[in-house]
Amino acid sequence: MLSPQDNVRKASAEAELKIDAHLLSCRKREDVYRVIRIYAAKGESIAPDAKCYLQCLVKDFEHNGLNLTTAKREEVGRLKDEIDELSLRYVQNLNEDSSCLFFTEAELAGLPVEFLQSLDKTQSKEFKLTLESSHVAAILELCKIPKTRKTVAMAYGKRCGDANIPVLQKLVQSRHRLARLLGYAHFADYALDHRMSKTSTTVIRFLEDISSSLTDLAIREFSILKDLKRKEEGELPFGVEDLLYYIKRVEELQFDLDFGDIRQYFPVSLVLSGIFKICQDLFGIKIEEVTETDVWYYDVQAFAVFDSGSGKLLGYFYLDMFTREGKFSHSCVVSLQNNALFSNGACQIPVALLIAQFSKDGGGEAMPLGFSEVVNLFHEFGHVVQHICNRASFARFSGLRVDPDFREIPSQLLENWQDITKPLVDEVCKTLKRWRYSFCALKSLQEILYCLFDQKIYSEDDVDFSQLIRSLHPKVMLGLPVVEGTNPASCFPRAVIGSEATCYSRLWSEVFAADIFASQFGDGHPNPYMGLQFRDKVLAQGGGKEAMELLTSFLGREPSTQAYIESRTKYGL
């Protein structure tokens, strides 16, 4: 992912494919499954984390059909191959889509000159617009011409309709058949079996609860947008394609924020020192740079993390912060080594890697960060802390190998703090907070809409995709109909590969992180006692215990959605 040498990256990718293939073959070893199942059936007295590990091993094998007859096991294998092939075909159709639209300069009024200059032009001087997400987002946020916005939204939502809707129909049916072979009512319950939510019923209830709780605020937000559209465009009906444009317009009118000017407050070194200070104060850790160590690129930094009370080494992390040619192009945290206990009692130390994509100027100096980059860095460093503080005995439950519904909660929690040496004036801080929450209800409803669509197609039989979106859209989006002729079933890759039946998970994490922050850290200052409690009771336990059990133990009650709703109501418009 990160080597400056292309041949090393290529060899690593090839090795990874071989390792994945080997792991898959291991999960199909019937001889090993029989031994483990016999041992599990004995019910011998073992430590709780070992018992959990044993249960996970058995489930791994049984998700590959090893508890089924030979014929059914072969059907499981055939269905998995079919699902992989259909998923790949769906995504390839989107990647290979070459649809484009042509507009005159007048029809693109409001777009920056730099954007227009980046577009190809026809001999008749029309601009060629592809349906890449960056082009579409620019039109929907900035174009002053309502007809152009609607044309683009309609074309974007119709992509690959004839090709992909039949593919998704077959894919959903195949996933349901696979789930039923493995003993589940439908695919959603199969996908949620290892997660906090457990069942599709819980997820749908969660989404509908958030939706109904945000409706009053969303109505107020929507009224502001409709009023502005009426002033600027007369009595033209408000469509969903107008949302991004008028949210942007209201933010420009209501918030006096110069994000270019704000950058001066966020040099990378200052932001990092602030993040380190917060985490050290909050979680009882000490971070020290390690200079005498080999790294794969000259500007990569290495750090050791110690318990501030005992001085015990907890782990290490690397920071690879700046873009360069050939480098993996996303921001994320990668596990280089997980915590684990050996049979002789020795401990394997966790090692994490934070990859970011920050810029340098022409002289090689780090550029100050934009506000969204600062928020993202806080978020990703939360994963580093989570990895380092995880003390699970088994590597299977260490690092970030925890319940996927829980994985983002510590990072969402850390986003609530900010500490910089050169402070922004209070008024700018308040404005930034209001800006972050502006139109939060409408934005959440849009996310809930697609999460519900995803959940329902995988928890019900023979779903009519078009009918489902036509009924869901106005119900969730305050009466707004879906853009004419569009259907997320044709261009919704999250529901196909990677997040199928689990699109709700990001919102789930955000809601419960808000509950933890409001109830345990409500004044916004690092609370060392509660921070240590969170580190010991939640982070240290890793994935060897049920995530809901850990949060309930820490909070003294079951997690609630109330803090999330109240924060949106408090800071929203």
Task: Report the catalytic residues.
Answer: 380
Report the C-alpha gap between 97 and 468 in whole angstroms.
Answer: 25
d(CA 175, CA 169): 10
Q: How far lies 545's CA from each of 47, 154, 403, 535, in Å?
A: 12, 46, 9, 15
Name the phi and psi angles at 102, rounded to 5. Answer: -125, 130
Residue 27 half-sphere exposure toward CB, CA atoms < 13 A? 17
CA contacts within 13 A on the Cβ side of 293:
14
What distance in Å separates the CA atoms of residue 361 and residue 266, rounded to the nearest whole number?
A: 15
C-alpha to C-alpha distance for 147 and 126, rounded to whole angstroms: 16
Residue 104 CA to residue 381 CA, distance in Å, equals 45
Helix/strand/coil for 366: strand
Closest CA to 417 of 524, 344, 311, 345: 524
Q: What does the buried/exposed string (b/e) look like for 449-487 if buried means 16 or more CB atoms within 10 Å of the residue's CB? A: bbbbbbbbbbbeeebebeebbeebbeebbeebebbeebb
The bridge status of strand 313-322 relative to strand 285-290 is unpaired
- In this structure, are residues 333 and 400 in contact, taking their beta carbons and an 8 Å threshold? yes
320: which strand partners?
355
Q: Which amino acid is at 188?
A: A
Count Cα atoms within 13 angstroms, Cβ side, for 251: 22
Rounded to whole angstroms, the Cα distance separating 376 from 353 reads: 15
8 A C-beta contact, residue 500 and residue 458 = yes
Give DSSP secondary structure letters for 63-89.
HTTTTS-HHHHHHHHHHHHHHHHHHHH
What distance in Å separates the CA atoms of residue 548 and residue 149, rounded to the nearest whole number?
A: 43
Closest by Cα among 271, 273, 279, 277 to 531: 279
* 147 phi, psi to nearest 5 deg: -65, -40
